[in-house]
């Protein structure tokens, strides 16, 4: 319980300063004012007290606002969205990729090894895998990230891990980070700062965080650094027992308006345990796979 309360206080602090930083486009979580912010018991929801002076005649102590934690993980849903977006690495799609349409479903929750950190599973969904070998409709490529919400990005991105071609003979794990003993991540300029890079192989979209491991043999992968970060829609999946989305079309992700056209991918439920994403893998499995659990620094 003590660790949970400590975590909720840290997240409340982060939430306050992230909202204050919205105008600048980046969080400044280490400079928050903690007055009036405290965790509530049990539910994981937080209450921020104190309206502006003069609004209630009580010196700013009479107002309150309640945040929403629909997936029950102890983190405000709006804060989850902000963290997933602002700590998203530089996404490098090959500049000559033949089927780049995609977006991300993510799961964000307190890191199981240290609740002062946050773990994010990013599942990058593509409409097609158009690789020369075994192309198919639908593609799900996953990487995990450890972030420190008290440190603004990109410095707060602690570790990255990607696993490509899971279950195949050419399965490969790549990882990088800032902890002792980890390889430094490749970086590229995003929002005026050097962000860690996640490379997607040409046409097949296999995810790598070490570019030199993205090789033609044995699975036909090749990666190139794109000079431009790839803009994507990010959708919060929620938690396995409390979903925040069950239809990727109704929530505005996989839609005709966004250019999607493959009928098998419309109205897709990312938490369906039995249905694969087109000819690719199962998203629900991705979102619960410990293969993507990134470390925290000791």
Domain-by-domain residue ranges, the chain? 2-68, 83-292
Cβ partners under 8 Å of residue 238, min gap 6: 70, 71, 107, 244, 245
| Higher per-residue confidence, 216 vs 8 | 216
Cis before residue 218, ω within 30 degrees of 0? yes
Q: In this model, does residue 182 exceed pLDDT 80?
A: yes
Query: What does the DSSP 8-state code read for residue 230?
Result: P
Strand ranges (E), the chain: 37-39, 46-49, 64-66, 90-93, 102-110, 118-129, 136-147, 157-164, 172-177, 187-190, 193-200, 207-208, 234-236, 238-239, 242-243
265-281 average pLDDT score: 97
31-57 average pLDDT score: 29
Under 8 Å between Cβ of 198 and 143: yes
Q: Two tokens at 96?
A: 């000559």
What's phi and psi for 104, nearest 5 deg? -125, 135
| Higher per-residue confidence, 199 vs 135 | 199
What confidence score (pLDDT) does residue 233 get? 98
What confidence score (pLDDT) does residue 270 get? 98
What confidence score (pLDDT) does residue 220 get? 86
Entry pTM: 0.81
Q: In this model, does residue 256 exceed pLDDT 80?
A: yes
245-268 average pLDDT score: 98
What confidence score (pLDDT) does residue 65 get? 57
Under 8 Å between Cβ of 138 and 127: yes
Q: In this model, does residue 28 exceed pLDDT 90?
A: no
- The helix/strand/coil state of 13 is helix
279-286 average pLDDT score: 96
With cut-offs at 50, 70 and 90, classify the pLDDT of residue 219. confident
Q: For residue range 75-97, what is the model confidence (pLDDT) as tens digits?
A: 999 999 999 999 999 999 999 99
Average pLDDT, the chain: 83
Give how far Cα 219 sits from Cα of 97, 119, 133, Å: 16, 29, 8
Percent of the chain with pLDDT over 90: 72
| Higher per-residue confidence, 62 vs 45 | 62
Give how far Cα 32 sits from Cα of 35, 53, 87, 117, Å: 9, 18, 18, 17
What's phi and psi for 246, nearest 5 deg? -135, 10
Q: In this model, does residue 217 exceed pLDDT 90?
A: no
How far apart CA 75 and CA 67 sit, in angstroms, is 9
């Amino acid at each position: 319980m003590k660790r949970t309360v400590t975590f909720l206080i840290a997240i409340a602090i982060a939430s306050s300063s992230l909202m204050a930083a919205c105008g600048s486009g980046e969080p400044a979580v280490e400079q928050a004012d903690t007055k009036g912010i405290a965790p509530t018991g049990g539910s994981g929801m937080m209450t921020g007290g104190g309206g502006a002076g003069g609004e209630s005649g009580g010196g700013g102590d009479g107002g309150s606002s309640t945040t929403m934690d629909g997936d029950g993980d102890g983190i405000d849903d709006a804060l989850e969205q902000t963290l997933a977006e602002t700590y998203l690495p530089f996404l490098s799609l090959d500049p000559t990729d033949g089927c780049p349409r995609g977006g991300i479903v993510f799961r964000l929750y307190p890191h199981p090894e240290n609740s002062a950190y946050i773990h994010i599973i990013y599942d990058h969904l593509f409409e097609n895998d158009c690789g020369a070998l075994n192309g198919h409709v639908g593609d799900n490529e996953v990487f995990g990230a450890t972030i420190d919400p008290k440190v603004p990005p990109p410095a707060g991105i602690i570790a990255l891990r990607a696993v490509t071609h899971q279950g195949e003979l050419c399965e490969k794990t790549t990882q990088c980070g800032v902890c002792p003993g980890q390889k430094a991540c490749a970086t590229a300029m995003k929002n005026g700062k050097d962000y860690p890079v996640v490379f997607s192989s040409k046409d097949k979209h296999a995810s790598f965080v070490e570019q030199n491991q993205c090789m033609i043999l044995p699975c036909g992968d090749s990666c190139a650094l794109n000079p431009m970060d790839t803009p994507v829609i990010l959708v919060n999946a929620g938690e396995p027992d409390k979903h925040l989305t069950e239809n990727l079309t109704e929530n505005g992700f996989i839609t005709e308006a966004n250019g999607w056209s493959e009928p098998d991918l419309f109205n897709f439920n990312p938490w369906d345990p039995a249905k694969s994403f087109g000819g690719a893998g199962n998203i629900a499995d991705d979102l619960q796979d410990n293969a993507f659990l990134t470390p925290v620094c000791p």
